[in-house]
Structure 1
Amino acid sequence: MTEFETVDLPVINLHVLLTDSSDNSNNQDLIDIGKQILLALESVGAFQCFAGSGDSTLTDVQLFGAADGLFSLDESAKQATANAAFLRGYIGMGRESGGAAVEVKEGFSWGSHSNKQINNGNKLQYSNVFPSAFSSKHVSILEEAHSFSARVAQTILRALSYALLNENSAIAACCAAPNESEAISLSRLFRYYPYAQFPNNSQKNQRVVPHKDRIGSSHHTDWGLLTLIRSLEPGLQIASTSAVSETTVWRTVVPRKDCFIVNGGDYLSIITNGVVRSPLHRVVNSDSRVRTSFVFFYYPPFNTTVPRDFKFLQSDQLSEEAFDRLNSLSLFKDQRDVAFKGKANGTNIIVENGDVLFDLKKVSFGQYICSKWESVARFNY
């Protein structure tokens, strides 16, 4: 990736809101910043935000220093955490993809440090699993990254609620349960490699992958409320269209120092009736450099459902453009490996013509997201 067209995302300063915890609807800063957020999410579906500086916030130096410490561990130390728990621990290269291409990256997942295993079907809550050789200092940095990112996401959502004049009860419900959202939200580190570094050998159960079938992260939209991203180098690209077509232009985001890139998510787009865009995006790897990113997925509470009377369920109440955007969301798509198509996908999920749909009478958002994460796991490389 040597030449690219860039997208100029709005930059919004959240520092004043993060240092003022009041929940006053007359707070002019909250209202003004909420309007900036709404405008960005309406027009592009993404923006960059500065969340502050100093000891109480997360700097790029801290975060990516911890990432270097993690990914530089021996392979055996990382692999020891690979199957310790659902959405916890190491993700080997090629072990996850939202599409047919092999994603040439390795990753690591964790969540709220206070999580414990629970037995009510909520697999998103579990104790973190870090390699034993990983320093306690770096563990603390990553756990702080999760909690701080949750606070930033909660602040964005609260400001957006005011910008929408508190008329959206679904957003208000998410704002009212921040601890529940943080508890099931997910943090991840990814290290992207040049495509040539993906091993192509003749070992059993591995297949030869043509170079053209490799990518950093396949094109997709994010399933939740908000996604927060930190990176030091370009690689993230946002599509000009809601679905890939001959007219699609991929525009690269140039990250700013100590800033989050914020994407609107599918669930937020749904509960705002398409007002908020969930942008189609992908990650393209450099041909010569290794790139690292931190990604935080912010979710509504586990037992949340899409409102039964939501207008998306009556498509005649939406514009054609908004309906097409909502209908293209990855949340509604079957992203399982083609080798596993047609196999059982759980009793609570409806699969129809290759698309995965909500069964609103049976499935909570949390249950559905568990199924979605299972669908992007890859085992045949």
Structure 2
Amino acid sequence: MNFDGKQIMEVTKELVSISSPSGNTDEVISFVEDTLEKLGVKSYRNNKGGLIATIKGQDDTKHRMVTAHVDTLGAMVKEIKPDGRLKLSMIGGFRWNAVEGEYCEIETSSGKRYSGTILLHQTSVHVYKNNGEIKRDDVNMEVRLDERVSSKEDVEKLGIEVGDFISFDPRVQITESGFIKSRHLDDKASVAILIDVIKKMKEQSADLPYTTHFLISNNEEIGYGGNSNIPEETTEYLAVDMGAIGDGQATDEYTASICAKDSSGPYHYRLRKQLVAIAEENKIGYKVDIYPYYGSDASAAIRAGADVKHALIGPGVDASHAFERTHADALKHTASLVYHYLTAKMID
């Protein structure tokens, strides 16, 4: 089965262009919901706001679940300062230096949106001699609003208040050399992969061996996106999420990454070996890797007590939780691995 990485990148571009920090994902969930509807796939939302679609298979006594998450890193308004700047509270695990200087958007509870920039309070080197030595933390980082405000009262008149969501500008670009670089490829690239896999299944009238549930989770970045709504018949659970790249890592931007272990411990050994065998049999580019500071929807499900064989795969993504990048090849290899896994027999 041939997948077009460039086509997956275009869907990824649409997804990352929709703001969806954990806790505020209705708009992007609606986008995925509408996309699946056009493919003839019905879905429903769980109480947490995630989206679940089911394709019935030949065997309805054993089920598979596949997840990818559509929520992203972000922030909330923690405090309105006396000078009209905003203090922030993080959503998800990133470092302030990763978003310093980034454009952002503040969404009020009434739906109004305002632009701003995330800055160190002591940004001006013409005023603050020790600018480079100041710690980037909750105390010193703030949002400069693109509005004529100079007091807390000015900001409040705009309708901005504590608890309003702040999203980061993705700055998405697709290059002629086959890369997509953007914030939030974690994990919207994987959501685009699942959409493309489902599309191929519909086009090919693929008859799945087992009933398969696709969960687009919306709380993964805060630890509990895929830990519920797992039918009793589910015996295998596959999370599709980014592969982490860095010193000592095998993962690259051109292949599918198969995770052997992350901070939650080892993934199911026999299921991991089956994924490797599927990749080799179908000439799919892959790397097996360990992610030392990482958790997934699959590990969240295990922690919640799900009695399943769990696995984690995904496209290799550089600079995770910062300004990320991957290549069309990683997207197509991962899509192919997901497709061939879902059309294969389960392990004993």
User: TM-score, normalized by length of structure 1?
Assistant: 0.26
Higher strand share: 2
Structure with larger RCO (C-alpha < 8 A, sep 6+): 2
Higher helix share: 1
User: TM-score, normalized by length of structure 2?
Assistant: 0.28
